[in-house]
Amino acid sequence: MKNLHTQYSARDIETRILEGLRAAGLDPSHRLSPEQLAALDHFHTGGLRASRELLELARIGPGDRVLDIGAGLGGSARLLAYAVGCQVDCVEMSVDYCRGAALLNRLTGLEANVTVQRGSALALPFTDACFDVVWMQNVGMNITDKSKLYAEIARVLKPGGRYAFQEMAAGATPLSYFPLPWATTPEDSILVSAEAMCELLSAQGLSPEIFEDTSEKHLRRSLANATPAAAGQLGLAVYVEDLARKAGNARRSLEDAQIRLLRGVFRSE
Ligand SMILES: C[S@@+](CC[C@H](N)C(=O)[O-])C[C@H]1O[C@@H](n2cnc3c(N)ncnc32)[C@H](O)[C@@H]1O
């Protein structure tokens, strides 16, 4: 599978992260809190706010074991571990992001609560029925075999466990603005409609407790908070190339209803 997110030939991701932290006035030799890193490591629509809201909807408790699929730099995993005290396993396809996540786990002192391993969402390296919650944010848009993805999620969930997610879905019209954060060309973007997503999940024994389209809410809020990042400010641009253009195209795609932003909590049988 081609990796659309990381190409770090010149400077590796650890160097980028450490430089980005120092440029933003943070001292990596002192313990950092997950919230201090939030602009850097919540690589999904709505950032930290969206993660906090999903955490509340998913009703995750301290005794829960959580799997974060496609965890990126692990920002949400650390938020969950820090805010709730639960144990979080991260699976991430990119070796660069795994290294970045491990670094940030160390800098926040959360290595014991958050583990990171390289792996695929389509072959999760876990036994059946071992998680209370599976968590996934902005990952499925590059995955073609959605049935296999959801079968894997259902397989690792305990009976009564929850799948909590936010995901891009197909809108009413085809995509026309590229590059997007997840796709350079139309072929890279594998989106299904909200209805198809619900059917695919139901086919794996996952039933909706919450399933909502948050596109309009997100657009209203992001317009209200549209402050451009200042030089030296911590952000995704530390490791995402051409971020402003990609984010602008994602916003236009959402405004034109070419994509929809969904979130949900589905329960396993
Ligand atoms: C937009 S980033 C989101 C990262 C993280 N979930 C977050 O919200 O901060 C998408 C992530 O999914 C990972 N990914 C994509 N396909 C994957 C797969 N099949 N298995 C595991 N990870 C995958 C990418 O490497 C990338 O880190």
**Of ligand 1's atoms, which has the minimum distance to the CA of residue 94?**
25
Strand partners, 115: 89
260 closest CA partner among 8, 68, 45, 10: 45
72 ligand 1 Cβ < 6 A = yes
Span from the CA of 30 to the centroid of ligand 1 (angstroms): 28
Q: How far is the CA of 12 from the centre of ligand 1 (A)?
A: 18
Mutational test site, ligand 1, from 92, 124, 261, max ligand atoms within 8 Å of CB: 92
Our answer on whether the CB atom of 71 is closer than 6 Å to any ligand 1 atom is yes
The first and second tokens of residue 175, run together, are 């995509």
Inter-axis angle of helices 75-84 and 47-58, to 10 degrees? 50
Q: Using alpha carbons, select from 46, 3, 35, 257 the residue that is nearest to residue 167.
A: 46
- The answer to whether the predicted template modeling score (pTM) of the entire model surpasses 0.85 is yes
pLDDT, one tens digit per residue, over 249-262 is 999 999 999 999 99
What local confidence, expressed as pLDDT, does residue 222 receive? 83
Indicate the residue type of 220.
R
C-alpha span between 11 and 21 (Å, rounded): 15
- The pair of structure tokens assigned to 79 is 């938020």
pLDDT in tens, 153-207: 999 999 999 999 999 999 999 999 999 999 999 999 999 999 999 999 999 999 9
- Alpha-carbon span 239 to 269, nearest angstrom: 39
Q: Using an 8 Å Cβ cutoff, are 67 and 89 in contact?
A: yes
Around Cβ 12, how many Cβ atoms within 10 Å?
A: 12
Place of tokens 């160097």: 15
Q: Residue 226 — very low, low, confident or very high, per pLDDT cuts 50/70/90?
A: low
Both tokens of 14, joined, read 């650890």
In the chain, what are the domains? 13-268 (3.40.50.150)
User: Which residues make beta-bridge pairs with 206?
Assistant: 268
Residue 6 has pLDDT above 70, yes or no: no
